[in-house]
């Protein structure tokens, strides 16, 4: 297990669920001042103020960020709100400037995570520096690439680490700007014990509507915080105008979310224990049934071997797939689940039978 420091141990007085808010891009000192003022007026104080200083844009010609000057304006945030500040770094030069300007937390963006050369360059620039780093998922749903970027930070001694789920680029599904993949953060948490994952609904949804829904889903899945782009005048923002919300709207969103309780705060519940015991029992039954099914599959395999039949029987398989899927759907199981389950079972059947053939009939040389 890789040891790292969780958000509460970053020494910044932060805790989960971590709320990060602030504009997509720093535009002017007046803009930063106004956002802080409206956050105070709306009585919504994020734990961490986000700000984009260098913006990786899809096409040249869009606003590419204000640069170092914008970091000087972070004094306004410290003065007005007294909270730490985070910004995105995309190369070693950005790291140097961010550190010089006392940025408290860095994040690595999706377009950078995708490129191990860039990530390594950032890691090398951070060797020996004690600063928290949050790593956004890469553009494409590749868990190893995401983990690899976090590992590169860890390998140079960065211990204060977290991940950010901002969704994945999808050529076909245009319901989202970046489609969420809720199993990916769960796999990350399983593979890297204790890794906290913040959700970025703004980049997932790409517009104001839907931020609440996606934030709630993130909490339902047990994610550890939210990063929501916030601007005093979203429609006139220099970047991501459609997806930013006002401080007042942020307050409303946060007040509607049902933040789930951490495990340690939950009351031990007899009802939950009873239900879990029932599940344990049913899982045992499922395993017995699977064991029996594969015992029959092995007998069919032997029959196929003796009679020189192929392992894969497409007509039979089609029939099994269709009839079981229909039955499953009638029992309120989703078609997608049925297909994935049956596909998995079939794969295993075919592998077992092929292994039987391989082991029973060594090829004569």
Task: Give the residues lining the site for ligand PRE (CB under 6 A).
Answer: 297, 300, 312-313, 316-317, 320, 345-346, 349-350, 353
Strands 85-88 and 18-22, bridge-based pairing:
unpaired
Strands 18-22 and 48-51, bridge-based pairing:
parallel
Contact call for residues 17 and 261 (beta carbons, < 8 A): no
| Tokens (6 digits) for 164 | 């950010």
Q: Name the minimum Å distance from CB 334 to ligand PRE.
A: 21
User: Residue 17, preceding bond cis, omega within 30 degrees?
Assistant: yes
Q: Name the minimum Å distance from CB 355 to ligand PRE.
A: 13
Angle, CA of 57, 225 and 84, to the nearest 5°: 75
Q: Using the minimum distance from each CB to ligand PRE, give the nearer residue, 182 or 317.
A: 317
Q: Using the minimum distance from each CB to ligand PRE, give the nearer residue, 34 or 313.
A: 313
Burial 285-316 (b: 16+ CB within 10 A, else e): eeeeeeeeeeeebeebbeebeeeeeebeeeee
Q: Using the minimum distance from each CB to ligand PRE, give the nearer residue, 37 or 346.
A: 346
Torsion-angle region of 17 (φ positive above 0: left; ψ -120 to 50: alpha; else: beta) = beta
Contact call for residues 221 and 185 (beta carbons, < 8 A): yes
Q: Using the minimum distance from each CB to ligand PRE, give the nearer residue, 159 or 348.
A: 348
Q: Name the minimum Å distance from CB 282 to ligand PRE.
A: 22
Q: Name the minimum Å distance from CB 357 to ligand PRE.
A: 12
Shortest-Cβ-distance residue relative to ligand PRE? 349
Q: Name the minimum Å distance from CB 294 to ligand PRE.
A: 9
Q: Name the minimum Å distance from CB 298 to ligand PRE.
A: 9
Q: Using the minimum distance from each CB to ligand PRE, give the nearer residue, 25 or 349.
A: 349
Q: Using the minimum distance from each CB to ligand PRE, give the nearer residue, 131 or 345.
A: 345
Give the dihedral of Cα atoms 269, 275, 280, 286; nearest 10 deg. -160
């Amino acid at each position: 297990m890789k040891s790292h420091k969780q958000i509460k141990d970053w020494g910044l007085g932060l805790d989960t669920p971590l709320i990060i808010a602030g504009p997509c891009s720093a535009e002017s000192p007046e803009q930063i001042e106004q956002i802080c003022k409206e956050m105070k007026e709306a009585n919504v104080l994020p734990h961490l103020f986000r700000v984009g200083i260098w913006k990786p844009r899809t096409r040249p010609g869009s606003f590419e960020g204000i640069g170092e000057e914008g970091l000087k304006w972070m004094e306004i945030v410290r003065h007005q709100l007294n909270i730490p500040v985070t910004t995105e770094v995309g190369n070693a030069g950005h790291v140097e400037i961010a550190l010089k300007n006392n940025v408290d937390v860095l994040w690595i963006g999706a377009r950078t995570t995708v490129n191990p050369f860039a990530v390594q360059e950032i890691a090398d620039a951070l060797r020996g520096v004690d600063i928290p780093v949050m790593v956004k998922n890469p553009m494409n749903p590749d868990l190893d690439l995401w983990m690899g970027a976090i590992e590169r930070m860890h390998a140079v001694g960065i211990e204060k680490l977290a991940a950010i789920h901002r969704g994945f680029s999808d050529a076909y599904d245009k319901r989202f700007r970046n489609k969420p993949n809720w199993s990916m953060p769960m796999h990350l948490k399983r593979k890297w014990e204790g890794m906290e994952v913040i959700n970025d609904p703004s980049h997932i949804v790409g517009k104001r509507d839907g931020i609440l829904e996606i934030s709630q889903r993130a909490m339902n899945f047990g994610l550890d915080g939210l990063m929501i782009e916030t601007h005093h005048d979203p429609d006139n923002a220099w970047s991501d105008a459609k997806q930013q919300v006002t401080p007042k709207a942020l307050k409303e969103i946060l007040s509607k979310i049902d933040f789930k309780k951490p495990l340690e705060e939950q009351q031990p519940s007899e009802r939950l224990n009873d239900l879990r015991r029932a599940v344990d029992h049913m899982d045992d039954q499922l395993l017995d049934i699977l064991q029996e099914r594969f015992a029959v599959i092995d007998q069919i395999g032997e029959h196929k071997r003796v009679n020189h039949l192929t392992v894969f029987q497409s007509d039979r398989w089609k029939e099994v797939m269709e009839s079981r899927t229909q039955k499953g759907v009638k029992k309120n199981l989703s078609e997608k689940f049925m297909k994935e389950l049956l596909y998995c079972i079939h794969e295993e059947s075919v592998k077992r039978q092929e292994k039987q053939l391989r082991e029973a009939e060594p090829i004569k040389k």
